[in-house]
Amino acid sequence: MNDFNFSLSTDYVYFENSSSNPYLIRRIEELNKTANGNVEAKVVCLFRRRDISGNLNTLADSNARDFEEESKQPAISEQQKHQLKHRELFLSRQFESLPATHIRGKCNVTLLNETDVLTGYLEREDCFFYSLVFDPVQKTLLADQGEIRVGSKYQAEIPDKLAEGESDNRVQEKLETKVWDPDNQLKDSQIDQFLVVARAVGTFARALDCSSSIRQPSLHMSAAAASRDITLFHAMDTLQKNGYDLAKAMSTLVPQGGPVLCRDEMEEWSASEAMLFEEALEKYGKDFNDIRQDFLPWKSLASVVQFYYMWKTTDRYIQQKRLKAAEADSKLKQVYIPTYTKPNPNQIMAPGNKPGINGAAGFQKGLCCESCHTAQSPQWYAWGPPNMQCRLCASCWVYWKKYGGLKTPTQLEGATRTAPRGHMTRQEVQGMSPFTSSAGRAKLLAKNRQTFILQTTKLTRIARRVCQDILQSRRAARRPYASINANAVKAECMIRLPKASKSAVKNRPIPRPSLVNIVKELAVQAPLKLKAPRGAPTPINRNQASQPRSAPVAGHPFSTNGRPFMSGMRTTSQSVIKRQRVSQGDAPNPVVFVATKDTRALRKHLTQAEMRRAARKPNIPVRVKIPPPPRPLPVPILPSSTSEPIVLED
């Protein structure tokens, strides 16, 4: 941002309240200096589309479509429609105070008009528009009442000009009503005398009225009220209706029931109502609809407007105007904001630093922008949740901060997916299978497991070989907790791929046993052990009970899970017990190996080196030498009992 000045009530500015969030757009109302010397700005809040709810966004979309149809806007692309949403703001009547040091620049906000072309806002930098007013308390969107009515439907129809010598044949009485004839038979002195009589009659009528005598207890106040324009208008209207005959006009002023009392809005309103009006005018300005709705609902809109223009002729208005002028002179009018030079904490790497490894933060060539998908940028910024590792280039970061969105629409905003995903969930994989029934799909979707399957693409496999110096697979295997930016590695692969050698890469074949052999081997090493039910024995229980169990032999190899190979263990040649078919919805949890007493006893005979070797190479069987069992202690031979009695001598 460059150095700039801003003044009161004319500038819209950017405020920064977070280093990662977009700027706030505010309109400056006042500049105040605090006790410690800092400058605070009293501002009016403006909201973006991202700040309001989804229901209000739908209402704003409907209003935008109506505007395009009425104003006959030219056709625009989907990307332009997406970017126009970033230029739309919503005015509010919410005020807040923010420090002036958080200002980051100026912008321009205008009221949307039917003559405006929407694409013109996209061509100008820092340019926004608004047409609706947002109420943060009531959560509503309303049309702005201050709209300037410009357009063909608001223009007057001007008739053709009359030719020379042509007379106007229109009936003037239907077009207008005459209220005063300057070519009357009365002299100016006679008219002035009649107006004095009308004022005297008005003063006498106020003396007879009880409510007026309370409001104007003195004769001077009654005479001043009778001298207002409403009395003079009534007197001149009386002369017009009586054909400027003074005798008839005098009798009309004072009929048989008493003198006629004419009062305007200044007399009709009480002092408390006038105070409410001044308070509402201070809050809403000249928005008479809101003044009437929130402060004076018992008054008509015409009454409020008439009172405003009469109130402007009083001394009260002049006093308030002088006070506001004095306050404005004492307040700040202009503030100089220097260039903001502090680095943003979201910067991935400062210029001049060395690039990082594994395509992580700081590797400039491999980074891909989430908005414009470019791989070249002088500066990169972290964007979004930290676990997503998303990046924005310098230009897209400035766009995000100013306009609160990305240049291209995302999937959350209705964009279609262009590239296949790198992984699918277990539910999606089995749901796509043609062998899965509808009932199985329903049960499968009802489960709350988060198991997923990783699907490696061809580009990923190629990138592992082309970008070995960046990926560093051995180092990544030793540090599995360190994240790898796959997008950065793939982007660098796309750069290096055209320059790579055209010779085919020789793959080293790895002999792998077939799936049938692996299943048979696992069935031998870890046979199914079912728990016997509490009821009558089943064939499965009888078969298992009939299988002999023998003790492990010293020096005999053990399987990976710690169970010894027993002589009575079932082999592939034996009959296999038919297992119960388990539905997909009731699929068991992953297998968990529980150590038995024998396994824990065998672990005690392993040295520390053997334990480490078994942990590093779990595929190699563990050989345990079991010490011979301890010899039984000799039992002393006791003499056999006889039938002779035992004699004890004292």
pLDDT averaged over every residue in the chain: 75
Q: What is the mean predicted confidence (pLDDT) over 548-558?
A: 45
Angle, CA of 232, 176 and 229, to the nearest 5°: 15
In angstroms, the Cα distances linking 409 to 56, 394, 525 are 20, 18, 55
φ, ψ (nearest 5 deg) of residue 12: -105, 135
pLDDT per residue over 438-481, tens digit each? 455 444 444 445 556 677 788 788 888 888 888 888 888 888 87
Same domain for 252 and 303? no
Q: How far apart are the first and last CA of the chain?
A: 120
DSSP code of residue 232: H
pLDDT above 70: residue 648: no
Query: Residue 482: inside a domain, yes or no?
Result: yes
Which of 471, 483, 487, 495 minimizes the C-alpha distance to 357?
A: 471
How many C-beta atoms surround the C-beta of residue 564 within 10 A?
A: 19
How far is the C-alpha of 223 from the C-alpha of 202, rounded, in Å?
A: 8
Query: Of 143, 169, 202, which residue sits at a domain end?
Result: 143
Q: Which domain holds residue 124?
A: 12-143
Verify that 310 and 200 share a domain, yes or no.
no
Render pLDDT for 479-508 as a digit per residue (tens, 0 to 9): 887 888 877 787 788 888 876 655 665 666
Domain identity same for 203 and 234:
yes
CATH classification of the domain holding 290: 1.10.10.60
Q: Token digits for 17?
A: 């309240």
Residue 547, number of CB atoms within 10 A of its CB: 12
Average pLDDT over every residue of 249-275: 81
Q: d(Cα 276, Cα 299) in Å, to the nearest integer?
A: 12
Mean pLDDT of 541-545: 43
Any bridge partners for residue 557, and if so which?
Answer: 623
State CA 531 to chain mean position distance: 54
Alpha-helical runs (H) found in 104-184: 119-123, 172-175
**Distance in angstroms (rounded) separating the CA atoms of residues 218 and 220:** 5
Count of other CB atoms within 10 angstroms of residue 317 = 15
Query: Minimum mean pLDDT among 31-45, 106-120, 242-256, 475-489: which range?
Result: 475-489
Please name which of 22, 11, 26 lies closest in space to residue 92, comparing C-alpha atoms: 26
Closest CA to 206 of 194, 192, 224: 224
Total domain count, the chain: 5
Same domain, 25 and 87: yes
Q: Which of 344, 377, 409 is the last residue before a domain boundary?
A: 409
- Give the residue from 91, 131, 107, 151 showing the smallest Cα distance to 12: 107
Quick check: 29 pLDDT over 90?
no
Task: Decide if pLDDT at 369 tops 70.
Answer: yes
Residue 589 located in a structural domain: no
DSSP string, 333-358: -EEEE----PPPTTBSS-TTPPP-ST
Q: Are 447 and 583 in contact (CB under 8 A)?
A: no
Is residue 205 one of the residues assigned to a domain? yes
Strand partners, 31: 41
H or E stretch at 395: helix 394-403
* Alpha-carbon distances of 442 from 99, 419, 436, 449, rounded to whole Å: 56, 28, 10, 14
Q: Is residue 68 part of a domain?
A: yes
Same-domain check for residues 294 and 383: no
Mean pLDDT of 58-62: 91
Same structural domain for residues 58 and 108?
yes
pLDDT of residue 121: 92
Q: DSSP alpha helices (H): ranges in 124-244?
A: 172-175, 188-208, 210-215, 219-226, 229-241
Contacts of 333 (CB under 8 A, 6+ apart): 7, 8, 31
Does residue 27 fall inside a structural domain? yes
Shared domain for 405 and 292, answered yes or no, is no
Bridge partners of 109? 128
Do 197 and 224 share a domain, yes or no? yes
Query: Has residue 67 been placed in a domain?
Result: yes
Residue 550 identity? S
Structure confidence at residue 84 as a pLDDT band (50, 70, 90): very high
Which residues are registered as beta bridge partners of 141? Answer: 134
Question: What is the pTM (predicted TM-score) of this model?
Answer: 0.48
Both 27 and 138 in one domain: the answer is yes
Contacts of 646 (CB under 8 A, 6+ apart): none
User: Rounded to whole angstroms, how far apart are CA atoms 137 and 561?
Assistant: 64
Q: Would the CA dihedral through 353, 354, 355, 358 be positive or negative? A: negative
Q: What is the CATH number of the domain that holds 250?
A: 4.10.1240.50
Contact status, residue 354 vs residue 346, Cβ threshold 8 Å: no
567 near 550, Cβ under 8 Å?
Answer: yes
Residue 553 has a pLDDT of: 43
Tokens of 196: 């004095």
pLDDT at 426 exceeding the cut of 50: no
For residue 353, give every residue at least 6 positions away whose Cβ sits within 8 Å of its Cβ, in sequence order, or none.
Answer: 362
Q: Is 95 helix (H, G, I), strand (E, B) or coil?
A: strand
Q: How far is CA 257 from the centre of its chain?
A: 70
Which residue blocks in 472-538 are alpha helix, DSSP H?
Answer: 473-478, 486-496, 515-525
423 pLDDT higher than 50: no
For 199-227, write each residue's pLDDT tens digit. 888 887 777 776 665 566 666 666 766 67
pLDDT of residue 421: 42
pLDDT at 528: 57
578 pLDDT higher than 90: no
- The reply to whether 109 and 194 lie within a common domain is no
The burial of 604, by beta-carbon neighbours within 10 Å (0-12 exposed, 13-18 middle, 19 or more buried), is given as exposed
Q: What is the pLDDT of residues 373-422, one digit of tens each?
A: 888 888 888 888 877 778 889 999 999 999 999 988 865 555 554 444 44
Structure tokens at 323: 């006070």
Mean pLDDT check: name the lowest of 4-18, 38-52, 83-97, 181-195.
4-18
What percentage of the chain has pLDDT greater than the value 90? 12
What are the CA-CA distances from residue 318 to residues 52, 70, 280, 307, 325 (Å)?
41, 44, 18, 15, 11
Q: What is the mean pLDDT of residues 348-359?
A: 48
Q: Where on the phi/psi map is residue 28: left (φ > 0), alpha (ψ -120 to 50), or beta?
A: beta
Task: Render 257-310 in DSSP notation, one character per residue.
Answer: T-------HHHHS-HHHHHHHHHHHHHH-S-HHHHHHHT-TTS-HHHHHHHHHH
209 occurs within a structural domain: yes
Residues 236, 206, single domain; the answer is: yes
Say whether both 259 and 278 belong to one domain: no
Q: How confident is the model at residue 171 (pLDDT cuts 50, 70, 90)?
A: confident
Residue (of 356, 358, 385) closest to 370 by Cα position: 385
Say which range, 50-54, 287-291, 421-425, has the weakest mean pLDDT. Answer: 421-425
| Contact call for residues 541 and 528 (beta carbons, < 8 A) | no
Asked whether residue 253 is assigned to any structural domain, the reply reads: yes
Query: Which domain CATH number covers 122?
Result: 2.30.30.490
Close Cβ partners of 601 (under 8 Å, ≥ 6 residues apart): none
176 in helix, strand or coil? coil
* Domain-ending residue, one of 236, 263, 290: 263
